[in-house]
Structure 1
C-alpha cells in the first residue's frame, strides 16, 4: 500500500543547540527522546517525513542509531514506516489516546487516594512549587515548558507513591494523548483550568481528603477527550480517520 502524501518538512532545530548528544550515553535513546519530544510537541506534525540520512547528518551519527530510534518511535505508534519508501510522523490515533487515558486514570486515581490517606507536607509544598512554575510559563505563553511542568507535577505523584516504574509505563503509552493535549492547550482558558485542577488536587492531598482528590483528578484528566469533537473540527488532518475537510463541509458522515 502506498504511503499517504507527506506534509512539508519542518526544520529540526540545529545540532549546534538542542541536538547535541551526551557522548557518555548511548546515542539511539537520546535521538529517540529528542524526536519524541519534537513529535509530541507538534514541532514535527503528523505527516512530516523523517529521512534517515538527514537525521544522521543532523545528529552527526551513523544510520544505525537513527534506525533504532525510529524503530522505537514506530513501536509507540508515533511514526509510520513504509519500507523502501518513507518514514512519516503518524496521525493521532484517537483509540490509542483513549487507551492511554484509561490506563493513566486508573493508576492516578489510586495514587492520589494513597497520598491523601497519608499527607506529606514536603510533597504538597513541591506540588505548589511546580504549579507556580506552570503559572509563570502560562503567563509567558511558553506552552512547551508549561506541558513539561505539567508532566513533572504528575511524575511527582508517582514518585511520592513509590510508583516511578508505572510513570515510565504511562509515558511510553502517552504519545497520542499528549499530542491531543498539545492541540487542546491553546484553547481559551485551558491552561487556567489545568492550574486550577492541580491546585485542587494538591490541596485535597494536603488536607487528607482522598475522595476529593480523586474527584478533582478525574475531572482534570477528562478535559481533552471531552472536547474531542472540537479538536477534530479544528485539526481534521492531524487525527487518524478524520474525514477530509471538503466532505465534512458538504455534510458527509461524521467520524465515530
Structure 2
C-alpha cells in the first residue's frame, strides 16, 4: 500500500497551546468556562489529527489504535482522546472491540456506492446553481487549480494531487454559496476518500481525473448547466469503475 503524508503540523501546535491553557488551575466561573471550551477544542483537534491520519492512509485499515500512545505523543489525558475515538467510531472510521481492542476500520465496499450517490446529488445541484453566477475570476481560479493538478499528476505526487482535488471541489461549492453543503459532504466521505487515495497510483488515473475536472469547468464556462451536471456526475461515479481491481490488490483493507 502506498505511503502518505499525515496531517497539517499546525494541528499539533494547537494541541500544545490548548494543553497549556487547560492545565491552569483556576476557580472563577469565567476561567472555568474558558477551560471547558478549550477542552472541547482539544477533543476536536485530536479528532482532526486522527481523522486526517486515517483518511490519508497514514493509519492503515486494520491497524491498532493505542490510546496510551496517542496520549503520550500529544501530551494529553485519556478523556479527550477517548471522546475523539468515539466520534470516529460513529463515522465508521474506527472499530472498538471490548475483548480485543480498537483498530482502524476497513473500507466498506458496500457503502461506497451510497457515498457517491450522496455526494453526486448534492454537488450536481450546486453546480446547476453556480453556472448562472460564475465570474471570469472564478473560472480563472478553477483553471489555475487544474494546472496545479496536471503538475502534481505529471510528477506522480499523489498527496498533493489529492489536496488539489479537494480544493477544486470545495471551491465549486463555496463559490456556489454552498459551503455548509461541502462541510457536510467532507465529514461523510471518509471511506470514499480512503478509496480514492488507493486509486491515485493507478497508471493514468490522476491525469484522467484532471481531464474530467477540465470538462466540468469547460461546461461551466459555456454556461451549460446540463453538460456541467452530467460531467460532474460522471466524474464522481467513475471512481467505482476500479473497485474490483483494487479489491484484488488490497483485499485486506476492505470489508
Q: Considering the TM-score relative to the shorter chain, is it more than 0.5?
A: yes
CA distance 1:37–1:145, change in 2 (3 Å): same
Q: Residues 27 and 65 of structure 1 are in contact (CA less than 8 Å); yes or no, is this contact kept in structure 2?
A: yes
Confirm or deny that 1:210 pairs with 2:210. Answer: no
Instruction: Name the residue aligned to 2:165.
Output: 150
- In 1, Cα distance between equivalents of 2:248 and 2:254: 10
Judged with a 3 Å threshold, the aligned counterparts in structure 2 of structure 1 residues 227 and 119 are, in CA distance, closer, same or farther, namely same
For the aligned residues, what is the CA RMSD?
Answer: 2.1
- Residue of structure 2 equivalent to 1:254: none
| Residue equivalent to 1:34 | 49
1:175 correspondence with 2:190:
yes
Greater per-residue helix proportion: 2
Decide whether the 8 Å contact of 1:21 with 1:27 is kept in 2. Answer: no
Counterpart of 2:242 in structure 1 is: 227
Residues 171 and 14 (structure 1), Cα distance of their counterparts in 2 relative to 1, 3 Å cut: closer
Distance in 2 between residues matched to 1:100 and 1:231, nearest whole Å: 17
Cα distance in 1 for residues equivalent to 2:145 and 2:57: 23
Unaligned runs of 5+ in 1: 1-9, 241-256
Shift of 1:119: 3.1
Question: Aligned to 2:141, which of 100, 122, 126?
Answer: 126
Task: Please say if 1:21 is aligned against 2:46.
Answer: no
Number of the residue aligned with 1:52: 67
Q: Deviations over 1:193-232 (max 9, x none)?
A: 1110111111111220111111211221111112211111
Note the C-alpha offset of 1:186: 0.8
2:11 and 2:6 mapped to 1: Cα distance? 7
Distance 1:206 1:174 in 2: 28
**2:106 is the alignment partner of 1:91:** yes
Out of 77, 80, 90, the residue aligned to residue 92 of structure 2 is: 77
Change in 2 beyond 3 A, CA 1:13/1:147:
closer
1:5-46 Cα shifts (integer Å, max 9, x gaps): xxxxx9x9799x576231256222112111111111111111
Residues of 1 paired with 2:83 and 2:144: CA distance? Answer: 37
CA contact (8 A) 1:78 1:90 kept: yes
